[in-house]
């Protein structure tokens, strides 16, 4: 499954996902690009300028080590809305936002006791 995120500016979205979130550009379409595919490992996302998708989408992504990714995102200057937190449902999650208000809810298995969420 590949989610489609509606963005205001595909080149700006590509730059944010690449420079702040560690994604790579797989391909882009148009001149200037109005549609693109980015990926990071098994996670693939389509970016669509002003057409498909809806504002404010939430994507859930499972990773091996959310704390390591949090440190990477802190260093890159990503928009972190919630640091890694343990939840009673057995996940340790953080929330990251892109330039268009889409949220990536990124998590891994809980390491210790659940925090008060």
- Residue 42, Cβ neighbours under 10 Å: how many? 7
Q: Please tell me the distance from the alpha carbon of residue 9 to that of residue 30, in angstroms, as a whole number.
A: 12
Write out the chain's pLDDT in tens, 117 residues: 999 999 999 999 999 999 999 999 999 999 999 999 999 999 999 999 988 888 899 999 999 999 999 999 999 999 999 999 999 999 999 999 999 999 999 999 997 655 555
Q: Is residue 102 a contact partner of residue 57, using CB atoms and an 8 Å limit?
A: yes
- Could you give all domains of the chain from N- to C-terminal order, each with its CATH number? 4-109 (3.10.180.10)
Using alpha carbons, select from 78, 89, 95, 97 the residue that is nearest to residue 114.
Answer: 89
Q: Model's pTM, two decimal places?
A: 0.91
């Amino acid at each position: 499954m590949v989610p489609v995120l509606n963005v205001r500016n595909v080149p700006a979205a590509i730059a944010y996902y690449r420079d702040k979130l560690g994604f790579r550009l797989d391909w882009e379409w148009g001149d200037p690009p109005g549609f693109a595919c980015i990926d990071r490992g098994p996670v693939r996302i389509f970016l669509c300028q002003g057409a498909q998708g809806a504002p404010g989408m939430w994507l859930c992504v499972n990773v091996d080590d959310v704390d390591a990714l949090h440190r990477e995102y802190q260093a890159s200057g990503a928009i972190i809305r919630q640091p890694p937190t343990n939840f009673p449902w057995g996940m340790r999650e953080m929330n990251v936002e892109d330039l268009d208000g889409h949220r990536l809810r990124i998590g891994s298995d809980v390491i210790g006791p659940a925090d008060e969420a």
